[in-house]
A and B are shown apart, each in its own frame.
Chain A
Amino acid sequence: MKIIVLSKRVPDTGVPIKVKDDGSGLDLSSIPFVMNPYDEYALEAALRIKEKKGEGEIILLAVGNDDYKETLRHGLAMGADRAKLIKTDDPLALDAMQVANLLIQEIKNENPDAVFCGKKAVDDERNYIHTYLATKLGLPFIYGAVNIEAEDRKFKVIKETEKGLATYETPVPSFITFDKCQFEPRYPSLRGIMMAKKKPIDEVTPGDTGNRKVESVKYEPPPAKKAGKIIDLPFPDNVKELVRLLKEEAKVL
């Protein structure tokens, strides 16, 4: 089974991120970068399928500049077999449809049994590239899987729905995106890290992106939150006062 895992490089989610003073973008100058956490779940899901089947090939695919090789190496160290990087100097200058346009030809060339990726990238949160890609590729698409099993010619996918946790069946090939899963992504082993150095990262010249339709005009920090008040009364008067404030001042009860 051949699975493509789309992998994005994003700022580490654990650190504060500031907007540049002129509002032209995020100040990422001293921010550590990681593989998009949801893409890590997607990769872990692919690795589990390969291990269970005892055969298969997992290919990482990304649109980005040389910095993205670090992210791809991380994925290779986790256990992916090879990687492809569609080279573009400024990946942040592309909108969702443009990124999808670049990815589509490479996915067609590989003719995979499945395409996996995170349900969203935790940086720009556009939530669209995967769906647009799947639609253009004509692949059945599932958003936000929390677990998956590969059977002969189909996948069993668990996902959260409004009614509860549902099991979906989708044929091979399919396009599946992952939420935080019922399992955790593995850490690369030392052996994995050594082996990753020998695995290939093929560089691909980008095709036509088409016009940019969604433009980022200005960035803003979140509105400053005024410091609140600690209700400094003994128990249970503090609780009574809290309820009074919620009712009379905040008017939310």
Chain B
Amino acid sequence: MIGIYLENKDGKIKKHSLELLTFAGKAFEDEILAFTFGKEVEKSDVFKFGADSFYLISGSNEIKTEEGISKAIFEFLKDKDVKILIFPASNTGRDIAARVSALLDLPLVQDVVEFKKEDGNLTFKRPIVAGKAYVWEKVNSEKFAISVRPNVFPPEENQKEEKFEKFEKFEVNIEESIKIVDIKEKEEGEIDVAEAEIIVSGGRGVGGPEGFKPLKELAKVLGAAIGASRAAVDAGWIDHSHQVGQTGKTVSPNLYIACGISGALQHLAGMRTSKVIVAINKDPNAPIFQVADYGIVGDLFEVVPALTEEIKKIKG
């Protein structure tokens, strides 16, 4: 049996998590046990994308931390015969993957982007040194866990003829040793750069915190997240949670629009696996143009607002 942890936002399963169902369907021929954590959940997608059974795990007390969620998942899994456990490699997903694997004493391969079956052996590919290289890893254990990167396996509706569609709730009481005492909520509608399908990113060329304004307008029209280079973050123009690159987040969206980013090695390492890269920069010799699919040499304060208007036109 394959176990898959699905992340949900306010009860809706995230797209990245649905990708895991597609991945599992392709990589393993086995029964799929899906589970998520929360009070309520929309379950139709989970069966549509290939789960055989689906559990909603929740606390009989209030559980808030990654520690508590992981312990609840452990309680749910400990007497189930799950051979391979799959987690989304989101920021929180990696944390929970590691905690649950450790509680179950399982080896773990994080950030899988590809798999291969050879003579019955499975190997998994993952990026290392921030995408400057990849390694294929083999697990010498009957049971193990992996986490899988977003935007790698597009979700496909499952073609299985027979569907079990078993849904149950699992409730457990968990003591948390860690407490969350305060949260400064993000701005409404802000999309996490690590999970976004489109990213509009700014670098030294934006010139200051105000310079992100046209980028934010473009992002709004595209439904994109705002990214930033280390130069922009270190200058204090934008929060570190937006940083893309070796000491920030590694991303692989469908579209990455780099505005005023020269393309330092450590930034390229974090975004070079994006499917389509657009570079807008004044300097025609900027290294970012070496990895860009499409480039415009020009002033971003002229080009970006024009781009926003053009996209508004086609989006109607």
Residues of A within 8 A of B (CB): 11, 13-19, 26, 37-38, 95-97, 122-128, 130-132, 134-136, 140-144, 146, 156, 160-171, 174, 179-180, 182, 211-222, 225, 227-231, 235-236, 238-240, 242-243, 245-247, 250, 252-253
Number of B residues near A (Cβ < 8 Å) is 84
Q: What's the least CB distance linking A165 to chain B, in Å? A: 5
Provided the pairs A131-B95, A168-B179, A214-B107 are in contact, do residues A225 and B291 lie with their beta carbons within 8 angstroms? Answer: yes
Q: Are A221 and B133 in contact (CB under 8 A)?
A: yes
Q: A122-B129, A163-B185 are in contact. Are A128 and B298 (CB under 8 A)?
A: no
* Contact partners of A161 in chain B: CB under 8 A: 92, 183
26 contacts between A and B (CB under 8 A): A13-B247, A95-B107, A97-B107, A123-B129, A124-B128, A128-B102, A130-B98, A132-B101, A143-B94, A161-B92, A161-B183, A162-B9, A162-B92, A164-B186, A166-B180, A217-B136, A217-B138, A219-B135, A220-B136, A222-B272, A225-B272, A225-B290, A228-B279, A242-B310, A243-B310, A253-B314
CA of A38 to CA of B109, assembled, Å = 20
CA separation between A141 and B69, bound complex, in Å? Answer: 13
Known: A164-B183, A230-B284. Contact between A131 and B99, CB under 8 A? yes
Query: 1/0 per position for B62-88, CB-CB distance to A under 8 A?
Result: 000111000000000000000000000
Instruction: Give the chain B neighbours of A97 by CB distance below 8 A.
Output: 107
Cβ contacts B27-48/A at 8 Å (1 or 0 each): 0000000000000000000000
User: Smallest Cβ distance from B237 to chain A, in angstroms?
Assistant: 15
The residue from B130, B133, B181, B186 contacting A26, defined by CB atoms under 8 A apart: B133
Give the tally of cross-chain contacts (CB within 8 A).
Answer: 234
Across the interface, do A253 and B311 meet the contact criterion of CB distance under 8 Å? Answer: yes
Out of B134, B178, B276, name the residue touching A140 (CB < 8 Å): B178
B50 CB–A CB distance under 8 Å: no
What CA separation (Å) do A182 and B198 show in the bound complex? 27
Chain B stretch 272-305: residues in CB contact (< 8 A) with chain A: 272-273, 275-279, 284, 289-298, 302-303
Complex interface: chain B residues within 8 A of A242 (CB):
278, 294, 296, 307, 310
Indicate whether A125 sits within 8 Å of B246 (C-beta atoms), given known contacts A136-B102, A214-B137, A230-B295: no
Using A134-B102, A231-B296, A239-B307 as known contacts, list a sample of 15 further A-B pairs with CB atoms less than 8 Å apart, ordered by residue number in A: A16-B132, A17-B132, A26-B133, A126-B110, A141-B67, A169-B179, A171-B177, A214-B109, A215-B138, A217-B137, A220-B134, A222-B272, A228-B277, A243-B314, A252-B254
B136 / chain A contacts, CB cutoff of 8 Å? 216-220
Chain A residues with CB under 8 Å of B61's CB are none
- The closest CB in chain A to the CB of B295 belongs to A230
Q: Do B302 and A235 touch (CB < 8 A)?
A: yes
Tell me if A211 and B140 are in contact (CB < 8 A). Answer: yes
Q: A163 and B302 in contact (CB under 8 A), knowing A128-B98, A141-B99?
A: no
CB of B184 closer than 8 Å to a CB of A: yes
Which residues on A sit within 8 Å (CB–CB) of B137? 214-217
Name the contact of B296 in the complex, choosing from A38, A134, A239, A247 (C-beta under 8 A).
A239
Q: Across the interface, which residues of A come within 8 angstroms of B292, CB to CB?
A: 228
Q: What's the nearest-Cβ distance from chain A to residue B275, in Å?
A: 7
**Within 8 Å of chain A (Cβ to Cβ): is B161?**
no
